[in-house]
Amino acid sequence: MSVLSENIRIMRMMRGLSQKQLGDLLHKSANAVSNWEKGTTSPDVDTLESLCKTLKVNPNQIYGWDSCQELDDFIASQHNMLKDIDELKRQRDELDLQIRTYAQQLRTRHIKPLYDEQGQKKPQEIS
């Protein structure tokens, strides 16, 4: 994947556009946009001009020759989001282990748990 193709993909996502939406704005097909993003083809000069206007960047930024602070910030935010997701998964796994340990302790003490392993409340008998 070239810098151009990667930047087209990231800048499109940064603007919250699908491939179809960007293609519609440029009077191109979603398949054309997909091919640009895969690096199979590149937009022609006229399309590149429209693409830059639509994505609110200049050609030097889309080719990666000049930095684009907004792009750098977007990429950093995506990395932070992935870190947050990893942390949430770690916390979920930790809680899952605690719940399983507690359920096992209840079973070994012959105490009826209030909830089953799927987290559903069990009906309790009235004594």
Query: For 62-71, how does the pLDDT look when each residue is reduced to its tens digit (9 = 90+)?
Result: 998 888 888 8
Q: What does the pLDDT average to over 23-30?
A: 97
Instruction: Output the pLDDT for position 123.
Output: 67
Residue 63, SS3 per DSSP:
coil
**Is-above-0.75 flag for pTM?**
no
> Which residue is it, tokens 């796994």?
93
Q: Are 122 and 116 contacting, i.e. CB atoms less than 8 angstroms apart?
A: yes
DSSP annotation of 40: S
Q: Quick one: what percent of the chain has pLDDT higher than 70?
A: 92
> What residue segments make up the domains of the chain, in order of their start?
3-66, 68-116
Instruction: Output the pLDDT for position 1.
Output: 72
Domain at 3-66: CATH architecture: Orthogonal Bundle (1.10)
Query: For 72-111, how does the pLDDT look when each residue is reduced to its tens digit (9 = 90+)?
Result: 888 899 999 999 999 999 999 999 999 998 888 877 776 6
The CB-side HSE value for 17 (13 A sphere, CA atoms) comes to 21
The CA distances from residue 95 to 49, 114, 116, in Å, are 52, 17, 15
